[in-house]
Amino acid sequence: MSDAQESVRKMTVSDVMRSELLAVEAGWSLDQLADFLVDKGISGAPVTAADGQLIGVVSLTDIVRQSRLPDDTTDRDDTHDVYLYDLERRMDRDELRELHVQFETVTQVLDIMTPMIFSVSEETSVQEVAETMLKGRIHRVFVTRDSKLIGIVTALDMLQVIRDI
């Protein structure tokens, strides 16, 4: 076994985890969530309740999955079209261009998050983390101590370990 392989075998989560946590709140709208993920340059985050308790994880995949669900606003769209037709008869094009109709989504992070949390301790080996991520087909695991969230290990963190071998 090479020295590099031996050093990786000795690595634990405490060697690779990041303590800076960027969490989202369960009550956030999907717009707030999307803005947060894009602004922070991350693809997912832990979800916390109002009391700070870790209750799930949410990612860009969850947002995409939600957007692909059938929309139940068909009746509203029909009604909306009737009103627009009536407006078109009473207003000129310039006045119509100034109108902007936007429907606000009521979907929250809590509605789309994954409640299954993959967590590990600081003493968990990097190899165990890799195995957990592969088996679970996940991109991040949370590091906990006494049931409190203290860090995160992402797929990118694991790639850095491989790069540094």
Q: What is the pLDDT of residues 63-115, one digit of tens each?
A: 998 887 665 544 444 444 544 455 555 666 666 556 555 555 589 999 999 99
Structure tokens at 32: 């707030």
- Please tell me the predicted confidence (pLDDT) of residue 115: 94
Q: What is the pLDDT of residues 15-72, one digit of tens each?
A: 999 999 999 999 999 999 999 999 999 999 999 888 878 999 999 999 998 887 665 5
Q: What is the pLDDT of residues 113-141, one digit of tens each?
A: 999 999 999 999 999 999 999 999 999 99
CA distance 15 to 1: 21
Q: What is the architecture, at CATH level 2, of domain 3-69+104-163? A: Roll (3.10)
Angle ∠(43,156,11) on CA atoms, nearest 5: 140
- Please tell me the predicted confidence (pLDDT) of residue 1: 67
Q: Name which of 115, 116, 112 is nearest 29 in CA terms.
A: 112
Note the pTM of the prediction, 2 decimals: 0.72
CA distance 153 to 133: 10
- Please tell me the predicted confidence (pLDDT) of residue 4: 74
Going edge to edge, which strands form the sheet with 54-59?
24-25, 44-48, 54-59
Length of the chain: 165
